[in-house]
């Protein structure tokens, strides 16, 4: 059945086309609204606004579904490497064995950064947040690679994408090493992607360092569950910046800045801080559940609730299972994991949380694993950025290829003063 929508503004009625997606999501296409009526839509926070059609990620928050290019995230997390999922997001299809081997080799060849970039790290203030460093250095990559900045040349764009995927772990690990005053460690390209990152994070020239395969496996899984989440704040930022024909490095650098906010990528830090607070306060979980329910108290259970998921966040389920696995191997020896499990148990049976459909989200258990891997808390969001990199790249490419591509330029309803007479400085009171 063909759907249509009608809108009446004063005496003027317009018929608006309706767009239906492959999962039956319905959107009213208002692109001709202003030209036919003079009016615009107003939707702060874009709660009701689809900024684009997209064929990359599908999520259904009511049912707790998340799929990349049609594949359930649970199946990808159980079977794939992060680079395999990156290939899927960016190219649209899972790679064959030969394509994957070629892709891995290509990424490997680009893991090093220019020696001048290494020198940047001496210039940041001691204790600088690694997200600020990551955003700055990724943006600065454009100044090192003028050979791959033409956004209209598919080969140059491909090279930029490869450079970003390959160099982000190196830049992230350098940011950490600099912050703790240890020498920066070069990548070791015989290691696969996650193991190579752990090597750069934790090895020191004075000691032998063996990457624990369980740690690399857990990191692989974390990167996969963070790899894309459709039109979130940072992804929309990447698309917005790229719509001006800014190069890929500049667009992704802006996305990293958007991710750094505590309402977006920063929630995993807040969750671990909350679990620590509960531990130091005698591990009285019920007290904190009561505090979260008390409307006179602004405390919230961090890692609970989600704007879109009104069911158990599928990513939280995968991460919880990985925590259990690490626990059974004696790798998670952290009192906050026990507190997290108790908190979940109490909250999931409490009427307040049940009624409001508040379930653990991706941030509830991810901090526990990061801690088990020895990742310091200020690096949590950096790892989120590493995981989100293929999603950002895929969305940037999709935006560029869209036949209706335009510079993103929202409008506004002006509410300031109407025209008034200029007052010279000497006469102002």
CB nearer to ligand ACO: pick between 135 and 268: 268
Residue 187 within binding range of ligand ACO, rule CB under 6 A: no
Residue 362 within binding range of ligand ACO, rule CB under 6 A: yes
Q: What is the 3-class SS of the chain, one letter each residue?
A: CCCEEEEEECCEEEEEEEEECCCCCEEECCCCHHHHHCCCCCCHHHCCCCCCCCCCEEEECCCCEEEECCEEHHHHHHHCCHHHHHHHHHHCCCCCHHHHHHHHHHHHCCCCCCHHHHHHHHHCCCCCCHHHHHHHHHHHHHHHCHHHCCCCCHHHHHHHHHHHHHHHHHHHHHHHHHHCCCCCCCCCCCCCHHHHHHHHHHCCCCCCCCCCHHHHHHHHHHHHHCCCCCCCHHHHHHHHHHCCCCCHHHHHHHHHHHHCCCCCCCHHHHHHHHHHHHHHCCCCHHHHHHHHHCCCCCCCCCCECCCCCCCCCHHHHHHHHHHHHHHHCCCCCCHHHHHHHHHHHHHHHCHHHHHCCCCECHHHHHHHHHHHCCCCHHHHHHHHHHHHHHHHHHHHHHHHHCCCCCCCCCCCCCCCCCCCCCCCHHHCC
**Helices 248-259 and 380-401, axial angle in degrees (round to 10):** 140
Q: Is 363 a catalytic residue?
A: yes
Q: How many binding residues for ligand ACO (CB under 6 A)?
A: 16
Distances (CA, A) of 15 to 12, 30, 33, 49: 10, 10, 9, 18
Residue nearest to ligand ACO (CB): 305
CB nearer to ligand ACO: pick between 149 and 278: 278
Among 68, 82, 103, 304, binds ligand ACO (CB under 6 A): 304
Beta strands at 65-68 and 57-60: parallel, antiparallel or unpaired: antiparallel
Give the nearest distance from C-beta 49 to ligand ACO in angstroms.
Answer: 16
Stretch in the footprint of ligand ACO (CB under 6 A) among 38-46, 175-183, 296-304, 317-325: 296-304
Among residues 253, 250, 274, 252, the alpha carbon closest in space to that of 262 is found at 274
Residue 289 within binding range of ligand ACO, rule CB under 6 A: no
Residue 272 within binding range of ligand ACO, rule CB under 6 A: no
Query: Do 313 and 358 touch, CB atoms closer than 8 A?
Result: no
Residue 344 within binding range of ligand ACO, rule CB under 6 A: no
Among 300, 329, 335, 354, binds ligand ACO (CB under 6 A): 300
Residue 358 within binding range of ligand ACO, rule CB under 6 A: yes
Give the nearest distance from C-beta 347 to ligand ACO in angstroms.
Answer: 8
Stretch in the footprint of ligand ACO (CB under 6 A) among 156-164, 236-244, 301-309, 407-415: 301-309
Residue 200 within binding range of ligand ACO, rule CB under 6 A: no
Tell me how far apart the alpha carbons of residues 385 and 370 are, in angstroms, rounded to a whole number. Answer: 14
Residue 301 within binding range of ligand ACO, rule CB under 6 A: yes
Give the nearest distance from C-beta 362 to ligand ACO in angstroms.
Answer: 5
Which one from 199, 226, 306, 395 is the annotated catalytic residue? Answer: 306
Residue 34 within binding range of ligand ACO, rule CB under 6 A: no
Stretch in the footprint of ligand ACO (CB under 6 A) among 29-37, 114-122, 198-206, 303-311: 303-311
Residue window 231-270: x/- pattern of binding to ligand ACO, with contact defined by CB under 6 A: ---------------------------------x--x---
Residue 369 within binding range of ligand ACO, rule CB under 6 A: no
CB nearer to ligand ACO: pick between 108 and 310: 310
Among residues 274, 271, 348, the alpha carbon closest in space to that of 303 is found at 271
Among residues 343, 333, 80, the alpha carbon closest in space to that of 217 is found at 80
Stretch in the footprint of ligand ACO (CB under 6 A) among 22-30, 37-45, 153-161, 300-308: 300-308
Q: Is 306 a catalytic residue?
A: yes
Tell me how far apart the alpha carbons of residues 272 and 337 are, in angstroms, rounded to a whole number. Answer: 10
Residue window 404-423: x/- pattern of binding to ligand ACO, with contact defined by CB under 6 A: --------------------
CB nearer to ligand ACO: pick between 168 and 361: 361
Residue 287 within binding range of ligand ACO, rule CB under 6 A: no
Residue 310 within binding range of ligand ACO, rule CB under 6 A: no
Give the nearest distance from C-beta 292 to ligand ACO in angstroms.
Answer: 4
Stretch in the footprint of ligand ACO (CB under 6 A) among 106-114, 148-156, 187-195, 361-369: 361-369
Residue 356 within binding range of ligand ACO, rule CB under 6 A: yes
Among 305, 367, 387, 390, binds ligand ACO (CB under 6 A): 305
Q: Which residues are designated catalytic?
A: 306, 363
Q: Please give the residue ranges that form the binding site for ligand ACO (CB under 6 A).
A: 264, 267, 292, 300-307, 356, 358, 361-363
């Amino acid at each position: 059945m063909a759907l249509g929508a009608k809108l009446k503004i004063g005496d003027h009625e317009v018929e608006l086309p309706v767009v239906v997606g492959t999962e039956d999501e319905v959107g009213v296409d208002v692109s001709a609204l202003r030209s036919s009526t003079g009016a615009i839509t107003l939707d702060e926070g874009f709660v009701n606004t689809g900024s684009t059609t997209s064929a990359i990620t599908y999520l259904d928050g009511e049912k707790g579904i998340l799929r990349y290019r049609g594949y359930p995230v649970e199946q990808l997390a159980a079977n794939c490497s992060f680079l395999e999922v990156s290939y899927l997001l960016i190219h649209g299809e899972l790679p064959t064995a030969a394509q994957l081997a070629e892709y891995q080799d290509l990424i490997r060849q680009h893991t090093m950064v220019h020696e001048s970039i290494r020198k940047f790290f001496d210039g940041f203030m001691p204790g600088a947040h690694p997200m600020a460093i990551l955003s700055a250095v990724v943006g600065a990559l454009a100044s090192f690679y003028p050979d791959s900045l033409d956004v209209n040349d598919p080969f140059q764009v491909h090279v930029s994408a490869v450079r970003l995927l390959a160099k982000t772990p190196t830049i992230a690990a350098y940011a950490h090493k600099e912050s703790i005053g240890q020498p920066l460690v070069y990548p070791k390209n015989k290691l696969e992607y996650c193991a190579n990152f752990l090597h750069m994070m934790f090895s020191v020239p004075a000691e032998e360092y063996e990457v624990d395969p369980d740690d690399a496996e857990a990191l692989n899984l974390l990167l996969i569950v963070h790899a894309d989440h459709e039109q979130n704040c940072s992804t929309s930022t990447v698309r917005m910046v790229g719509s001006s024909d800014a190069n890929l490095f500049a667009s992704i650098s802006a996305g990293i800045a958007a991710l750094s906010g505590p309402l977006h990528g920063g929630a995993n830090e807040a969750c671990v801080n909350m679990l620590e607070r509960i531990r130091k306060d005698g591990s009285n979980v019920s007290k904190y559940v009561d505090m979260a329910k008390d409307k006179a108290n602004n405390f919230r259970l961090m890692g609970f609730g989600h704007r879109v998921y009104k069911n158990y966040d599928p990513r939280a389920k995968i991460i919880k299972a990985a925590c259990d696995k690490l626990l059974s191997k004696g790798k998670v020896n952290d009192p906050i994991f026990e507190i997290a499990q108790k908190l979940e148990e109490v909250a999931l049976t409490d009427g307040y949380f049940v009624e409001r459909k508040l379930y653990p989200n991706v941030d509830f258990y991810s901090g526990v694993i990061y801690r088990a891997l020895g990742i310091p808390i200020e690096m949590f969001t950096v790892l989120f950025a590493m995981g989100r990199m293929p999603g950002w790249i895929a969305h940037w490419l999709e935006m560029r290829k869209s036949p209706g591509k335009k510079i993103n330029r929202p409008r506004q309803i002006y509410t300031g003063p109407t025209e008034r007479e200029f007052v010279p400085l000497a006469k102002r009171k």
